[in-house]
C-alpha cells in the first residue's frame, strides 16, 4: 500500500516537457520520467515501450558510480559502449516518433 501511495505522488510531480509546451513536439528525452515510473511499478515492457534507452542509461549511471569508487578493468570500453548504445536508442526512438 505504501508503494502505491508513493507511485501516485511520484506521478503528480513529474516535470512537463518545455520543448513540447513551446514547440508542440516531443524532445529526445520525452518519456524518460514515465519510463522510470513504470520501472518502479514493475512494468518493464511498458517502460521499454515508453523510452527504450532507460535500459542502457540506468546501467551506465550505475557503472559510472561504481567506477568512481573502484578500479574496473576495461572501464573506458564499457562506458563508451553503454554511451553509444544509449545515444543510438535515444535517436532511434526519437526518429520513430516522427514516422
Q: Is the dihedral of CA 24, 11, 47, 57 positive or negative?
A: positive
User: What's the pTM?
Assistant: 0.78
Give CA separation, 13 vs 3, 17, 19, 65, 72, in Å. 16, 13, 18, 26, 37
pLDDT number for residue 16: 84
Percent of the chain, pLDDT > 70? 91
pLDDT number for residue 6: 57
Residue 85, C-alpha cell as written in the block:
548504445
Residues 21-30 pLDDT 10s: 888 888 888 8
Residues 53-82 pLDDT 10s: 999 999 999 999 999 999 889 999 999 999
User: Is the pLDDT score of 3 beyond 80?
Assistant: no
CA distance 37 to 60: 18
Amino acid at each position: 500500500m505504501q508503494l502505491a501511495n508513493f507511485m501516485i505522488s511520484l506521478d503528480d510531480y513529474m516535470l512537463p516537457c518545455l520543448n513540447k509546451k513551446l514547440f508542440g513536439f516531443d524532445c529526445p528525452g520525452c518519456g524518460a520520467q514515465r519510463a522510470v515510473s513504470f520501472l518502479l511499478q514493475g512494468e518493464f515492457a511498458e517502460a521499454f515501450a515508453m523510452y527504450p534507452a532507460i535500459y542502457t542509461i540506468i546501467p551506465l549511471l550505475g557503472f559510472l558510480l561504481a567506477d568512481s569508487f573502484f578500479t574496473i578493468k576495461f572501464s573506458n570500453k564499457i562506458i563508451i559502449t553503454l554511451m553509444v548504445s544509449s545515444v543510438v536508442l535515444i535517436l532511434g526512438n526519437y526518429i520513430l516518433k516522427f514516422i
